[in-house]
Amino acid sequence: MESIAWTGAALRVVDQRRVPDETVLLDLADVDAVVEAIATLAVRGANVIGTAGAFGYALGVRAGLDPVDVAARVVAARPTAVNLRVGVDLAHAARLAGDDPLDVAVRLLEEDRAACAAIGELGRAALAGASRILTHCNTGVLATTGRGTALGIVYAKAAAGEPVEVLATETRPLRQGARLTVWELQQAGIPVTLLVDSAAAAALATGRVDAVVVGADRIAANGDTANKIGTLALAIAARHAGVPFYVAATWNAVDPGTPTGAAIPIEERDASEVLGTGPGAPAAGTAVWNPAFDVTPADLVTGIVTERGVLRAPFGPAIAELAR
227 is in an annotated binding site: yes
- Per the CB < 8 A criterion, the answer to whether 249 and 304 are in contact is yes
Taken as a whole, the chain contains a residue count of 324
Give the three-state DSSP class for 191. Answer: coil
Round to whole Å and give the CA distance between 298 and 87: 25
176 is in an annotated binding site: yes
Round to whole Å and give the CA distance between 13 and 20: 15
Interacting residues of 175 by C-beta distance below 8 A, sequence separation 6+ = none
Interacting residues of 323 by C-beta distance below 8 A, sequence separation 6+ = 254, 256
47 is in an annotated binding site: no
Q: Where are the alpha helices (DSSP H) in the chain?
A: 31-39, 46-62, 67-75, 82-96, 101-126, 150-159, 176, 182-188, 200-205, 231-241, 272-275, 315-323
Round to whole Å and give the CA distance between 283 and 271: 13
> Of 220, 228, 221, which is closest to residue 212 (Cα–Cα)?
228
Active-site annotation, residues: 217
26 phi and psi angles, rounded to 5 deg: -110, 135
- Radius of gyration of the chain, Cα coordinates, nearest whole angstrom: 19
Q: Could you tell me which residues are annotated as the binding site?
A: 44-46, 78, 176, 227-228
The binding site for substrate comprises 44-46, 78, 176, 227-228
